[in-house]
Amino acid sequence: MNEQAQTMKRDAELYTYIYQNARMGLVGINQVRGTVSDAELTKELCDEYAMYDEYSTTAENALRDLGEESKDIGAIAKMGSFISTKMNTAVDSTVSHIAAMMIEGTTMGVTKLSQKIEDTSQKLEKAEQWVSRFDVSSLFMLSVLPFTPSSFMHFAFGISDFDEKRYLITMLLGKGVMVAMMALFGQSLVRSMKNPVYLVLAVVIWGAMYWGSKRFCKKHDL
């Protein structure tokens, strides 16, 4: 996956998170509005509803531009919000308590979104630092060994400026060797039915691949 595709994927994940948080805010306000009689609080809730609706629409349009479909929050999340709202307002339905509930919900949403953005930034920084320590020989070994995090490897090299042609050629050569090793392992298992010595060979091959993978991952902080 090239850098542009990786960027679009990350953007889609972030916009989906924003969209779902905004939708949860809309659901929460709708559940509270029916219990509010205070005119000032009702106005504040209407203003906040309009804000969440704008965020939701903006995120939905951004997802559409990326060719992605917006995913609404699930029924279980809506039910959990409904039960929580009913329990809270049943205990205390005063204006101050409902206002505190809304402030707490908004603060929680902002905190989670900030954490999501920070986590994404940290992953990008880690991936870029990790790729900067790699050369072609290290990439070849990484593609040869079967017990390595391939998804992270593709993500990290996808967002880096590593030469695409060199990456693909190295990956193809490495995976070719890995397939040959797995074929040898499979052949040893088949032959072990007639000669138990081949079972020992199969175990040795499997153990060597596993040990080599773990050593490589530990060396390169994977």
Digit-coded pLDDT (tens) for 96-130? 877 787 777 777 777 777 677 666 666 666 666 65
Domain shared by 104 and 14, yes or no: yes
44 inside domain: yes
Domain shared by 172 and 67, yes or no: no
Structural domain span for residue 104 = 3-123
pTM over 0.85? The answer is no
Digit-coded pLDDT (tens) for 25-34? 888 888 887 7
Among 56, 91, 123, where does a domain finish? 123
Residue (of 90, 113, 107, 110) closest to 31 by Cα position: 90
Domain shared by 17 and 76, yes or no: yes
Residue (of 35, 44, 38, 40) closest to 85 by Cα position: 35
Domain shared by 11 and 34, yes or no: yes
Domain shared by 107 and 138, yes or no: no
Domain shared by 119 and 142, yes or no: no
Domain shared by 144 and 106, yes or no: no
